[in-house]
Structure 1
């Protein structure tokens, strides 16, 4: 008789949680070595549960779980510590990252480099370095697109494979990749040398920090990446983005 596999001491973050019964939860978890997985946390809603104060979003955890079904059983959860919970815009930004992972990652598909980038991003979100918030989001977006195979090479024109000119102006568009910007797009485009620097950062052995630095001072990058992400998610606006817009209008 086959025995269920037990995993212990697995680095992970909780992306989302659903009620499963009066006392239990279903968790969507992003783990370093097993990718996005679903776990049932039995009894987690009870006041006496050891899981109750631990299973929080954007907090580094070490999990133990077992089973061979699509939804496995959580056996243990330990808070690693050292991470402040984001608040305000940073908290909404963290939920935005979680929504991207839920929409774009297949189950049981490991992405350890992306896990490390996510850990770096939520660390920035919980810090007091507000100036790093936008570059951290751009870095994660780029690395997510790269990891799931949706990011074209940034140092060449996608249709012709011609290398970019340093002083040329180029845009990233959903169905065309990197294209030369028209006269009406120059203000929203990036210079060739900026795209080339971003490609070098994505290829860096420590890509999150490298892309974070390369993305600083590039506000034009945000709308282009958002358009590409919305295209691949199949939505006009993500739920967390819509919530942020509604709160800003109050």
Structure 2
């Protein structure tokens, strides 16, 4: 019986693991099949056609033979990989940010659970990272991705009401987004919080898509973006579990130098 194949599938490599002296296990994010595990036999050999192609944060088209039925979490065999092109590998802060996004997807997405809209969002953000975006221009892009990722996988509460009471937000009052309590009134002196009006703007933007969310985050200003960052990072880390995200630890180590 002929081996069934998936062909010409848009994908990005999230992480590569050594497997034997010459091969790699790849964790890839695909458009139509979600996060998939593939073995790239002989990929570490100097003569391998895979070697110059299997890089993170690069758009690829992959083909693989199915080890079992799709959805069973099997490790499939990579048959072909083609670089699609379009942008160079990000560098500096943009590279670290891209690896951070990859780690989030590895920790939060179940194997072979399709997220086509999230794939398109990720591809768009990677293009921005490859364009050389950095510094202040990069922050709104990351916050928008974090918000939409949490919403896509069902971990973001509605941002137009207090989670526990479902009460309407007071525009001038401050509210904090916390892991176990959702959106709640901020305690006195609590810094990581936004006003009700700011949360309402974000909720409306989430209903319109990435461009609207990016515009809303960018328009909030640096102080509010910083407070949103702290809340989203805490929420994401809670759902990712222990240990601390490796990319976040690396960023903190670099900032302390």
Q: TM-score interval w.r.t. the shorter chain?
A: over 0.9
Aligned to 1:49: 48
Give the root-mean-square deviation of aligned CA atoms.
1.5
DSSP 3-state at the match of 2:226: coil
Equivalent of residue 138 in structure 1, options 127, 132, 143: 143
Q: Deviation per CA, 1:122-155, whole angstroms, max 9, x where unpaired?
A: 1222223323211111111111111111110111
Q: Does 1:91 align with 2:90?
A: no
> Are the equivalent residues in 2 in contact too, given 1:120–1:208 (CA < 8 A)?
no
Cα offset, 1:105, TM superposition:
0.6
Aligned to 1:30: 29
TM-score (normalised: structure 1):
0.93
Aligned to 2:252: 245
Q: Which of structure 1's runs of 4+ aligned residues deviate more than 4 A?
A: none
> Are the equivalent residues in 2 in contact too, given 1:171–1:224 (CA < 8 A)?
yes
Q: Deviation per CA, 1:24-55, whole angstroms, max 9, x where unpaired?
A: 11100000110000001111111221111111
DSSP 3-state at the match of 1:221: helix
Distance 1:46 1:134 in 2: 38
Equivalent of residue 159 in structure 2, options 133, 154, 163: 154
DSSP 3-state at the match of 1:133: helix
Equivalent of residue 185 in structure 2, options 157, 180, 184: 180
Distance 1:203 1:146 in 2: 10
Q: Does 1:100 align with 2:104?
A: yes
Distance 1:61 1:149 in 2: 28
Distance 2:61 2:188 in 1: 52
Q: Deviation per CA, 1:170-222, whole angstroms, max 9, x where unpaired?
A: 1101111011112212x431111211111122221xx2222122111222100
Aligned to 1:209: 211
Distance 2:120 2:171 in 1: 31
Aligned to 2:202: 198
Provide the aligned length of Structure 1 versus Structure 2.
246
Distance 1:140 1:31 in 2: 17
Q: Which runs of 5+ in 1 are unaligned?
A: none
> Are the equivalent residues in 2 in contact too, given 1:62–1:77 (CA < 8 A)?
yes
